[in-house]
């Protein structure tokens, strides 16, 4: 551990900068509408300016007009060590102002929280990263190893203009890096007795979005037609939506649930871990989806007039598979819908799972414990995905580690892409403390 530590005044300055930067970034609406429609140019320019103010040079990589990625290289004390990528994304999903109780891009502070689109996903982490390296630049602190700061575009729509474009077109910026940290990990989940588990993301489900198509005989809506394409696609969609997927437990899931059972005093039964979901409150919705493959119908498209039976009908299925179980997902879908429905892949992405041990994991765990001595770091498998998937193509092992200590009653996962997205100010203070300590000792 480095002997340099922040004074109370410096830590207060770090907190203030992280909060201010978070508000600044939220107020720049870097909305990603999907299908290539997004614009991170203004927020990327602000990131460059914030780093430039303290002498950190960075570069914008524009993958398409307005689609901007920011990269900065920070030299470490020991440049012979492998480097660490510390990354976030700059885009946010749309927000319908009529649904919100505050203006979505106001970054208003109320009830001890910063409200706004991106507050959780993920401009709070972007702000913490920037605030830490701004303070280090002012103090002349160097991290123990080389760091690549990466702020990506397009994470909310498949990363085609962001991390995937950077990996394909500029892999050199990540040269020498073997590990990475990013979003959705290191947050607290309070269980029985007030004990806090800190969920660190060590695995992610894979993605298979598929388009199902049914053909039939077109005709007048007033006539009998047993070859109705809409009926066929509806039956297929209903079967998929109502299918009960078998439980399949990965190594990460088993570690997490053993710890949940241990700290709550409940029974651990590997034949069925679902009863333990009751112990983690609202997190159960997301964690429950990591106990099995899932396939959710999300879109239907058929017909053009009320009295015309269409010749074809389509549906979109959001399939998510556990590490090692992609073939099971695909084969099961085919069996469910039968041979007469065609399947076309819309989007595909890999699943990830890495061991929850080693020096980097130990550094994450110890940093949490330094600021919450009773905290319990645990790995978890995420039902979604992050830019770590793209970096894995370069052999870079990634974890989700954007620490936040959260109020016990806050439905954290509901805030992702949700109405009235917000982040606790005390959570940011805790998070930037932990993240700074981690980066100082990784």
**pLDDT of 413 above 90:** no
CA distance 186 to 415: 16
Confidence check: pLDDT of 151 > 60: yes
Residue 1 has pLDDT above 50, yes or no: no
Mean pLDDT of 297-324: 96
Q: What is the mean pLDDT of residues 353-361?
A: 96
The pairing of beta strand 376-382 with beta strand 196-204: parallel
Report pLDDT digits (tens) over 184-230.
999 999 998 899 999 999 999 999 999 999 999 999 999 989 999 99
Q: Say whether 302 sits in a helix, a strand or coil.
A: strand
Average pLDDT over every residue of 8-23: 96
Report the pLDDT averaged over residues 281-301.
96
Identify the H or E element spanning 315.
Answer: strand 312-321
Q: What angle do CA 373, 378, 382 make, to 5 degrees?
A: 140
Using an 8 Å Cβ cutoff, are 120 and 422 in contact? yes
pLDDT, residue 382, reads 96
Tell me the β-bridge partners of 209: 318, 347
**For position 192, what pLDDT does the model report?**
84
Instruction: Give mean pLDDT, residues 103-109.
Output: 97
pLDDT at residue 5, as a whole number: 78
Phi, psi of 103 (to 5 degrees): -65, 125
- Cα(213)–Cα(316) distance, integer angstroms: 9
Confirm if 436 and 132 have CB atoms less than 8 A apart. Answer: yes
Task: State in Å, rounded, how far the first CA of the chain is from the last one.
Answer: 9
53, two tokens: 């103010």
Check whether 134 has a pLDDT greater than 60.
Answer: yes
Q: Reply yes or no on whether the pLDDT at 180 is more than 90.
A: yes
Would you state the pLDDT for residue 4? 58
**Cβ–Cβ < 8 Å for 115, 424:** no
User: pLDDT-derived band of residue 6, with 50, 70 and 90 as boundaries?
Assistant: confident
Looking at the predicted structure, is the pLDDT value of residue 400 above 70? Answer: yes
Q: pTM for the complete prediction?
A: 0.93
Q: What is the mean pLDDT of residues 298-306?
A: 95
Longest dimension (CA), the chain: 83
How far is it, in rounded angstroms, from Cα 337 to Cα 326? 17
A 10 A CB-CB count for 387 gives: 25
E strand or H helix at 248, and its extent?
none
Average pLDDT over residues 173-178: 98
CB contact at 8 A, 289 and 383: yes
Residue bearing tokens 């439980």? 247
Given a cut of 70, whether residue 14 has pLDDT beyond it is yes
Cβ–Cβ < 8 Å for 402, 184: yes
% of residues, the chain, pLDDT over 70 = 99
Mean pLDDT, the chain, rounded, equals 96
Domains present along the chain, CATH in parentheses: 8-184+386-441 (3.40.630.10), 206-349 (3.30.70.360)
């Amino acid at each position: 551990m480095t002997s340099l530590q922040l004074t109370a005044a410096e830590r207060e300055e770090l907190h203030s900068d992280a909060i201010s930067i978070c508000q600044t970034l939220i107020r720049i609406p870097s909305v990603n509408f999907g299908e290539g429609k997004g614009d991170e140019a203004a927020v990327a320019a602000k990131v460059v300016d914030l780093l430039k103010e303290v002498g950190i040079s960075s570069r914008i990589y524009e993958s398409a007009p307005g689609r901007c990625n920011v990269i900065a290289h920070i030299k470490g004390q020991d440049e012979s060590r492998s480097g660490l990528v510390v990354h976030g994304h700059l885009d946010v999903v749309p927000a319908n102002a009529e649904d919100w109780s505050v203006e979505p891009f106001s970054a208003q502070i109320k009830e001890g929280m910063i409200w706004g689109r991106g507050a959780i996903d993920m401009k709070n982490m972007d702000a913490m990263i920037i605030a830490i390296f701004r303070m280090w630049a002012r103090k002349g602190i160097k991290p123990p190893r080389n760091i690549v700061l990466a702020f990506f575009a397009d994470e909310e729509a498949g990363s085609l203009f962001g991390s995937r474009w950077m990996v394909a077109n500029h892999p050199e910026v990540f040269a020498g890096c073997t590990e990475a940290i990013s979003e959705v990990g290191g947050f607290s989940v309070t269980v029985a007795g007030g004990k806090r588990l800190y969920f660190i993301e060590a695995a992610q489900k894979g993605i298979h979005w598929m388009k199902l198509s049914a053909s039939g005989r077109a005709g007048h809506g007033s006539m009998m037609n047993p070859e109705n394409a809409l009926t066929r696609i509806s039956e297929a969609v209903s079967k998929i939506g109502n299918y009960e997927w078998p439980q399949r437990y990965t190594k990460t899931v088993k570690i997490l649930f053993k710890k949940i059972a241990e700290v709550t005093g409940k029974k651990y039964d590997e034949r069925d871990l679902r009863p333990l979901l009751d112990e983690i409150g609202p997190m159960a919705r997301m964690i429950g989806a990591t106990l099995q493959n899932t396939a959710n119908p999300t879109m239907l498209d058929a017909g053009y007039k009320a009295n015309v039976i269409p010749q074809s009908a389509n549906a979109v299925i959001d399939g998510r598979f556990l590490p090692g179980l992609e073939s099971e997902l695909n084969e099961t879908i085919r069996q469910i819908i039968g041979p007469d429905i065609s399947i076309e892949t819309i989007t595909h992405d890999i699943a990830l799972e890495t061991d929850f041990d080693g020096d980097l994991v130990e550094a994450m765990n110890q940093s949490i414990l330094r600021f919450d001595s009773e905290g319990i770091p645990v790995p978890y498998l995420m039902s979604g995905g992050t830019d770590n998937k793209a970096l894995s193509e370069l052999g870079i092992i990634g974890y989700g580690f954007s620490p936040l200590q959260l109020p016990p009653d806050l439905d954290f996962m509901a805030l992702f892409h949700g109405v009235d997205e917000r982040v606790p100010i005390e959570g940011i203070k805790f998070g930037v403390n932990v993240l700074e300590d981690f980066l100082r000792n990784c």
